[in-house]
Structure 1
Amino acid sequence: MRALISVSDKDGVVEFAKGLAGLGFEILSTGGTYQLLKDNGVAAVEVSEYTKSPEMFEGRVKTLHPKIHGGILYKRDDSSHAAQAKEFEIGGIDLVCVNLYPFKATIARTNDFAEIIENIDIGGPAMVRSAAKNFADVLIITDILDYDEVLEKLRSNSADMGFRRSLMIKAYEHTASYDAMIANYMNERFNGGFGDKKFITGTKVFTTRYGENPHQKGALYEFENFFSQNFKALKGEASFNNTTDINGALMLATSFGEAPAVAICKHANPCGFAIKSNLFESYTEALKCDPISAYGGVVAINGTLDRELALKMHEIFIEVIIAANVTDEALEVYSDKKRTKIFTQESKFLVRSDDKFDFKHIDGGFVYQERDFIQDDEVKNAKCVTTRSASSAEFTDLEIAWKVAALTKSNCVVYVKNSSLVAIGMGMTSRVDAARAAVAKARDLGLDISGCALASEAFFPFRDSIDIANEVGVKNIVQPGGSIRDDDVIAAANEHDMAMYFTGIRHFLH
């Protein structure tokens, strides 16, 4: 039996090679892997010695040889193949262990294009694909986490077709994601990120019980190990819908740095938000905005869920809690709430990945775009277009309202008072309907929204929303501006002695 080992990620490879050698495998290897194995007492044979062909062109050509690919690819149960292998003195290679040049690490470390090009693997993907094609005869290992299982299967003679097939699938996933990463990088460098092809790849974190509905299958996939590193289940299992709702709450709670922000979301839209002096006060104020919708919702806590806060939250049913960290005492409070799920990032404050791109499936394809980031200075740099201007305290409410609006489904309007969300209308087909819906709910809940700040993620096309805002005592408004009726809207604000700011930036969320 013969194994070829050539890896960039060398974790565990010495122990794996020793295990193979103990099973009677002859070990072939290349370059740094060969040297590492030799230095650690593994009797490896260098590929160039085996093929009697030297490495050429600074190592660009070393495994691209008939004795390597022939040994991998010939079908053992085909008499014609076996005869040709014997005629050309091609010995079988029964196991291939390869992972590829560190392209991702290289582009993270340098912008030197010549160095980047040299870290595009050629021989590695060729060997992986050859071995994967002939998986019935050749074991292909591309994941260091599979080393122990492969050795166990070989020792027990249980490397059956199902196991070989699973390794084959993983191998093609490995080369496909590698080539996709290179293509995406080249398009980002030379075509502004929008090439003729766009590749979206992710690694499965877990399978959900089902998708949006019980008859649909679902799973969570991650980019760059984000969830593996920043998502831990303390209580319960995240469903498909939980993950999208968590995302909505987390995006809002992380929009204010290290502030003690608490966001309450239902169906990925905010129904409560506040920033007070501590997380307990923030949650208490956030809940006032819409306690009915908060029932069965998702709460994101930008800090620690402790016992005091847990006892307060325990008063109503909350389906999902995501917190930067959670104390054991807080977890104990929820021991009797079987349906409540608790997740943490095990950090001081909540973190987000801040992916550079965004995409959405449509029937027959997907639309792809640069991600919409809300900059911290958008309201600070906004233009006051009215006679009245906001005070510093009022300006804080404008900034909070603007970020909440940007993270809420269009059409939306957001009312904030004393750093707390007091009314919100979202996902409406007209902006004035959103304004009416928000005001009606606030009145039903007995909330005083006089003196509050109002934000709209897009311009007001007519003055009617401004007149509605006046009826409930809105004093400050922030919006992008840009309507052909801006003059009418500004005039309405001046009539009602409101301050109005134009940011010049729209934040549709569809």
Structure 2
Amino acid sequence: MPAHLEALARHGIPPIDLVVVALYPFEATVAKPGVTPAEAIEQIDVGGPTMIRAAAKNHAAVAVVTDPSQYAGVLAELRAGGGALGDATRARLAQEAFRRTAQYDAAIAAWMRSPRAVPAAPAAPDELPHPLRLEAERALTLRYGENPHQAGAFYRTPGPAVGLGAMRQLHGPELGYNNLLDFSAALGLLLELEGPAAVVIKHTNPCGVALGPTVGSAMEKAKACDPVSIYGGIVGVNGTLDMAVVRALAGIFVEILFAPAYAPDALEELRRTKKKCRVFEVPCDRAALPQHLAEYRSVLGGLLAQSADLADLDEASLRTVSRRAPTPAEREALRFAWRVAKHAKSNAIVLTTRDQVVGVGAGQMNRVDSARIAVMRAHEVGLETRDTVCASDAFFPFRDGLDVVAEAGATAVIHPGGSLRDEEVIKAADERDMAMVLTGIRHFRH
């Protein structure tokens, strides 16, 4: 404005044509474990965003720089242009400036909604934001999307680094889109398991899961669940990966191998023998996850959002509805089977012992076919289905699926219940002297 220019001239102040602002590190502060609300609030910048927005608004005459990654390019153009930046450069910098202030405000708003901001505040009945504003940094440009003709990228959500946001690659080629989908599925299942455990995932479905006294013994049993499908799979263990795990995977190609830590000799051997395997270090601590996680999925014309399925078995709410109650050993096996079924695509049927998956039927259009596939896969790899237990991610709509696993030798079954034919299914269990436990919680996964 003319009056402003006159004031500058009167006071001998030259016009400002370059503004460089580094905002207070709010995002980095709240990402630290144990940060207090007072420490976080202290890092909310007030003047910085104001200067950035003012400069960006006037980008016709002012350049605004908001990220150190921009410094080299801006300096090079200033030197080449005799101290001036082009119109296109100033416009691009302004665009990035407004994106940065929006990102900064979104991070503050997200933190303010979290229990960490006001720990004593009760959780809101509606955990999903309204309206929804997503701001995420592109952390990786992927080789391609689900197929080679599709572009792909991984975006890290703001806040504390959890899950794949905390992964660190130690070895191997770059990641693909499908790799990350399977990686996320494997990590999600592994976080459910207690004690030393190993998981194998293929196309987001579990094809090998086992517990053991060590991660090495668990890996041997997980491999035996489906020695064919493990090829090209995603493998994870929840303890320090040692030479026992490396030996269990000798001669087997896996796309990704992950663990929270590695024995030095095991990592050296993996780098030597598995040139094409992507090796990752990632935390496997369920307690470190935020209390409220949201999941998002795109659909044509919009986004779907839901709270993450973090529900675990509530022992007090389990109901034994069969004539025979499960034995302590069966009850332990049912808990294990239920956690695995929760992570298989619906319709899901899982057969297990107390510490090993025996058969998985997943992603079928009807439950009886999933039951048949679970039994068939177990028999194909030479695993015994007698004296196993069965978990179903949703109720049995008819008795036919139960009859299939009972004929294969399953002695106990766990499922949500709630079918119009529950009594018919319970009667089928009693006819075969099976123990049946109802959870009241469905775990569909689409």
The equivalent residue for 2:246 is: 310
After the TM superposition, which residues 196-215 of structure 1 pair with which residues of structure 2 at under 5 Å, given as runs?
196-215=130-149
Pick the aligned partner of 1:421 from 339, 349, 357.
357
The equivalent residue for 2:117 is: none
CA distance in 2, matches of 1:176, 1:147: 18
After the TM superposition, which residues 158-197 of structure 1 pair with which residues of structure 2 at under 5 Å, given as runs?
161=86, 167-181=93-107, 192-194=126-128, 196-197=130-131
Pick the aligned partner of 2:179 from 227, 234, 242.
242
Go from structure 1 to structure 2 and tell me whether the alpha carbon gap of 1:348 and 1:487 turns closer, same or farther (over 3 Å shift).
closer
| Maintained 8 Å contact 1:311/1:333 | no
After the TM superposition, which residues 130-169 of structure 1 pair with which residues of structure 2 at under 5 Å, given as runs?
130-135=54-59, 137-143=61-67, 145-146=68-69, 149=72, 153=76, 156=79, 161=86, 167-169=93-95
Which blocks of at least 5 consecutive residues in structure 2 are unaligned?
115-122
Displacement of 1:179 in angstroms is 3.4
Aligned letter for 1:205? A
Go from structure 1 to structure 2 and tell me whether the alpha carbon gap of 1:151 and 1:261 turns closer, same or farther (over 3 Å shift).
same
Stretch deviating more after TM superposition (86-95 or 201-210): 86-95
CA distance in 2, matches of 1:359, 1:203: 16
The equivalent residue for 2:21 is: 97
- Partner SS for 2:171: strand
After the TM superposition, which residues 466-477 of structure 1 pair with which residues of structure 2 at under 5 Å, given as runs?
466-477=402-413
The equivalent residue for 1:27 is: none
Match status 1:255 vs 2:179: no
The total of aligned residue pairs comes to: 422
| Maintained 8 Å contact 2:385/2:410 | yes
Displacement of 1:96 in angstroms is 3.5
Displacement of 1:214 in angstroms is 1.1
Match status 1:393 vs 2:329: yes
Match status 1:368 vs 2:305: yes
| Maintained 8 Å contact 2:347/2:393 | yes
| Maintained 8 Å contact 1:301/1:350 | no
Displacement of 1:380 in angstroms is 5.9
Displacement of 1:229 in angstroms is 4.0
- State the identity as a percent: 35
| Maintained 8 Å contact 1:480/1:505 | yes
CA distance in 2, matches of 1:460, 1:372: 21
The equivalent residue for 2:50 is: 126
Displacement of 1:261 in angstroms is 0.7
| Maintained 8 Å contact 1:303/1:349 | no
Displacement of 1:290 in angstroms is 1.3
Displacement of 1:169 in angstroms is 4.0
Go from structure 1 to structure 2 and tell me whether the alpha carbon gap of 1:164 and 1:327 turns closer, same or farther (over 3 Å shift).
farther
Which blocks of at least 5 consecutive residues in structure 1 are unaligned?
1-80
Stretch deviating more after TM superposition (305-314 or 416-425): 305-314
The structure having more radius of gyration, on CA atoms, is 1
TM score, norm. by length of structure 2: 0.84
The equivalent residue for 1:13 is: none
CA distance in 2, matches of 1:160, 1:330: 53
Displacement of 1:184 in angstroms is 5.2
CA distance in 1, matches of 2:418, 2:297: 27
| Maintained 8 Å contact 1:251/1:352 | no
- After superposition, give the CA deviation of every residue in 1:47-79 in whole Å (9 maximum; x if it has no partner): xxxxxxxxxxxxxxxxxxxxxxxxxxxxxxxxx
Displacement of 1:463 in angstroms is 0.8
Displacement of 1:255 in angstroms is 1.0
Go from structure 1 to structure 2 and tell me whether the alpha carbon gap of 1:169 and 1:344 turns closer, same or farther (over 3 Å shift).
farther
| Maintained 8 Å contact 1:458/1:506 | yes
After the TM superposition, which residues 57-68 of structure 1 pair with which residues of structure 2 at under 5 Å, given as runs?
none
Stretch deviating more after TM superposition (428-437 or 300-309): 300-309
The equivalent residue for 1:293 is: 229
- Partner SS for 1:423: strand
CA distance in 1, matches of 2:324, 2:230: 36
- After superposition, give the CA deviation of every residue in 1:308-358 in whole Å (9 maximum; x if it has no partner): 32122122111211111223322332324332111112x586887456111
Match status 1:490 vs 2:426: yes
| Maintained 8 Å contact 1:324/1:350 | no
CA distance in 2, matches of 1:500, 1:192: 34
Q: Pairwise CA RMSD of aligned residues?
A: 3.2
| Maintained 8 Å contact 2:197/2:215 | yes
Displacement of 1:126 in angstroms is 3.3
Aligned letter for 1:374? A
Go from structure 1 to structure 2 and tell me whether the alpha carbon gap of 1:174 and 1:392 turns closer, same or farther (over 3 Å shift).
same
Go from structure 1 to structure 2 and tell me whether the alpha carbon gap of 1:312 and 1:380 turns closer, same or farther (over 3 Å shift).
farther
| Maintained 8 Å contact 1:125/1:175 | yes
TM score, norm. by length of structure 1: 0.74
| Maintained 8 Å contact 1:103/1:120 | no
